[in-house]
Chain A
Amino acid sequence: MTASTAPQDAVRRRSAARRLLRDPQAVITASVLLLIVVLGLLAPVLTSHDPNHASLDHIDAGAGTDGYPLGGDRSGRDIWARLLHSINTSTVSALIGASIALVIGVSAGLVGGYHDRLRSLTEWVFSLVMTFPGLLLLIVLMPLTGGDFRTTMAIFGVLLSPGVYRITRNQVLGVKNELFVDAARVSGLSDRRILVRHVLPAVRGPVIIATAFLCGSSIGVQSGLAFLGVGPATTPSFGAMISEGFHNLYLSPLQFVWPSLVLGALTSCLVLFGNALRDALEGSRRRPAGIPAPKAPAATGAAPAGLLAVEDLTIAYPTPSGELKEVVSGVSLVLEPGETLGLVGESGSGKTQTAFAVLGVLPSEAVVVRGSIRLDGRELLGLKESELRGLRGRAIAYVPQEPMSNLDPSFTVGAQLVEGVRAASGASRGEARRRVLALLERVGIPDPERAFRSRPHEISGGMAQRVLIAGAVACRPALLIADEPTTALDVTVQAEILDLLRDLREEMDMAVLLVTHDFGVVADVCDRVAVMRTGEIVETGTAEKIFGGAEHDYTRMLLDSILDENTVRGDAPVAADEPLGRTTTW
């Protein structure tokens, strides 16, 4: 689990129960399961016959015979009574098997995942358990267990535990490096408390899902063993009933149908419920992205000149209540050829959404309510994905914030760049390779041949950003959109990357739309600045005007928040040996 998904997990878990209740699959399967279990519990009320009581009068009696609603089997036992008691056997099997697997698997997984030193031991033990041939072992151990299905299920629980162990261990490994676990350690909490209070909740979801499947396999194995005739014949079980029904298949086929039906319903409902549980807890997959088209044209009239003209752009997202919430409201901006415009704002101001709209890569949920985006006079909104693809890379190029996550780790840097150049220009392989090597040299990579052969993990973050810039400018785009291109980099690297962007812009006469939150970066490279707040542009002007005499209060507030050269801490340290009157106790 990465840092950014952690808070969303809590949101998901909160609504998981509600989502489960809305899922018909979950509701139906859970009701069927509940009904079957309750029938089993009510067995003493629903039938007066002992499941093992054989009555010679009722051998192979038909359904509906007095006191025998489903008839008798070939030993004259009440099928209805046996069915109800078999449910109880299955329930107990599921409870024993699953709970033993959970207790062993979860506790060993917590310990093994959290303590690096104990992990090699737990891994070894559970790998050993996994090598046992399960069913065979249970049969071989039959003399030892005395045939009691409860003992057999307890052993089966041990055999199931490696699966639970592995799920738990993986979850713990993911969560134990989260900062809140570090913070708990710094707070002086004991390991046991950290495990129970901070680590266990993160493990909960996947283990709950696994439990449904553990119950299913316990019931299956118990019935399977009984079907094979392993264990005492006095234990009522679906397996034993099916086996007997099998012998009587031609005489009275219904004897075979009843236990099969209930067993089938039981196990399939468990599996389906487990699946519904997973969907509710982990969420279903996102739909693939599409291209949003505007609902209404721009409110203003004549098309302004300029390379890029964004007019009255309004983007909204649907809220859970079904209404649309605007994240960009009526944004207009113009970018002349060869000009650098800084789009500045704090998080949530809509600056990245605006840039994504120009690139045509808004998420599928996004709705472009109205507006227009023209590149060289051509309307971009409403273009088909294939038409946009023709523009991207050739007319518009993009430099992202996280250079590393925008390179595919399984291909060399050179292969990725060559692919991009060939897709955008249709050059031959050799020609594309020559161009890529020249570009890598141009963006200041010391040994282009070597960088060409490297995989992304072998180069630094600054180098990766140079590679992406090389890819972006490969086809001399008219417009380069850079979304916080240096935020993830060190300041010394940032300065070099900004130098590179400035040089390339002059060399290629590109327009640059630079999305950033950093006024230092703006002062370094931008000709003009547009300041955004909560989806609106509050002020636009030349860099000199914005920095020299901003008119809008919000711009001035932002500029005042900058810690400049003159803000040095003046006050001396407050000497307080025992703060707040507490004495040190060790």
Chain B
Amino acid sequence: MVTAPLLDVNGLRVSFPGRGRRSRPVEVLHGVDLAVGAGEAHGLVGESGSGKTTIGRAVLGLVEAGGGTIRFGGRDVTRLAGRVGRALAREIQVVFQDPYSSLNPSLTVGDILSEPLVVQGAAPAAARERVRDLLDRVGLPADAAERLPREFSGGQRQRVAIARALAPEPRLIVCDEPVSALDLSTQARVLDLLRDVQRRTGVAYLFISHDLAVVRHMCHRVSVIHRGDIVETGPAGPVTSAPRHPYTRRLMLASPVADPAAQAERRAARRRLAEAERTGTV
């Protein structure tokens, strides 16, 4: 028996109202199909304006789907609101890119972490216990609960954001560029934490990024999105290192390698591809 994927997006279309009074809505996703299995890290790679963030926001219920369906755990969640929508909230969580604006500056870390728990009916003492446990799990000291977000560095704040996402014990976390605002050394440590959390809890990730190297490091499977369409999907290694679609190939050759000799080769390969595309031989 083939088990249904945890998250199953089918023919998803999203439009945003155009600028100005009479302009037509602009469609940013043109029928996207995407499946994320339980416990899987699924990468979603694309450039700015490709619609990758919009897919994540549609899954989270933050933007309205204009067409298609989003199924989660076998249930249609495309248009859920109110109480049922909030019950769904425990199952799908989010880690945003910007660790500065994603934490309310006027709440302590303890309040930020316990709020979703208390709303879902946890007793204050149990919530405090859980906050300690969460802080420990993401590698922050227990006294972090009494401090304000501004007392932490970018990497530490992203740990707080991960702890907040883990609080309701979700089955899927949408990670929207979670490390692109971080320094190189911090980035590696946060990615290690995300992998470690996944191994221990079996949570699935929809991992949105513009960086092929990060996705290769982090994900089992990858989908590449270009101007609102998924152009290539497959296991992370082959898709990011030996892509089949011309767009993915262009993306790969444009990402610089940290080695002058290898980068010179890659640059030459990129120029050959660009030349070939211009003369129409591809």
Contact = CB atoms under 8 A, between A and B. Distances in A.
Contacts of A576: 38-39, 201-202
Given A188-B86, A563-B213, A520 B116 contact: no
Given A187-B164, A580-B169, A524 B202 contact: no
Interface in A548-586: 557-559, 561-565, 567-569, 571-577, 579-580, 582, 584-586
Top 10 A-B pairs, shortest CB-CB distance: A576-B202, A520-B256, A188-B89, A10-B105, A3-B101, A187-B116, A519-B258, A179-B102, A188-B86, A346-B183
Interface residues on B, range: 35 or more
B48 A490 contact: yes
A6 interface: yes
B48 A13 contact: no
A568 B219 CA distance: 8
A491 B47 contact: yes
A198 B119 CA distance: 14
A524 B267 contact: yes
A426 to B, nearest CB: 39
B177 to A, nearest CB: 11
Nearest to B179: A563
A517 interface: yes
12 contacts: A180-B103, A185-B61, A187-B119, A188-B89, A188-B119, A491-B254, A524-B256, A563-B191, A573-B37, A573-B220, A574-B199, A584-B73
Given A573-B220, A585-B87, A568 B236 contact: yes
A53 interface: no
Interface in B177-233: 183-188, 191, 195, 198-199, 201-204, 210-211, 213-214, 216-220
Given A3-B98, A522-B258, A183 B164 contact: yes
B188 to A, nearest CB: 4
Contacts of A346: 183-186
B8 interface: no
Contacts of B213: 562-565, 567
Interface in A167-198: 178-180, 182-190, 193, 197-198
B116 A189 contact: yes
Given A189-B119, A579-B203, A563 B214 contact: yes
Contact of A10 (B148, B183, B260): B148
Contacts of B116: 187-189
Given A182-B94, A547-B260, A561-B184, A7 B39 contact: no
Contacts of B90: 188
A27 to B, nearest CB: 26
A183 B216 contact: no
A465 to B, nearest CB: 13
B39 to A, nearest CB: 4
A521 B253 CA distance: 13
A10 B199 CA distance: 36
Given A188-B86, A189-B86, A579-B203, 10 more contacts: A10-B149, A180-B103, A183-B96, A186-B60, A188-B88, A491-B210, A544-B260, A558-B185, A568-B241, A579-B171
Interface of A: 3-4, 6-11, 13, 178-180, 182-190, 193, 197-198, 201-202, 346-347, 461, 490-492, 494-495, 498-499, 517-524, 543-544, 547, 557-559, 561-565, 567-569, 571-577, 579-580, 582, 584-586
Contacts of B210: 490-491
A399 B193 CA distance: 36
Contacts of A187: 89, 93, 115-116, 119, 164, 167-168
The A interface, classified by DSSP as helix, strand, loop or mixed, is helix
Contacts of B91: 584
A153 to B, nearest CB: 33
Of the listed residues B98, B164, B184, the one surrounded by the most CB atoms of chain A closer than 10 A to its CB is B184
Contacts of B254: 491-492, 494-495
A163 B58 CA distance: 36
Nearest to A346: B183
B62 interface: yes
A190 B120 CA distance: 11
Contact of A543 (B186, B202, B260, B267): B260
Interface string B244-282: 000000110111111110110001001000000000000
A188 B47 contact: no
B23 interface: no
Contacts of A491: 47, 210-211, 251, 254-256
Contacts of A547: 258-260
Contacts of A347: 154, 183
B46 to A, nearest CB: 9
Nearest to B50: A490
B241 A565 contact: yes
Contacts of B41: 569, 573
Contacts of A201: 104, 106
A13 B94 CA distance: 28
Contacts of B88: 188, 586
A523 B106 contact: no
Contact of A563 (B103, B120, B216): B216
Contacts of B216: 563, 565, 567-569
A568 B169 CA distance: 27
B92 interface: yes
A492 B219 CA distance: 22
A491 B199 CA distance: 31
B62 A186 contact: yes
A6 B94 contact: no
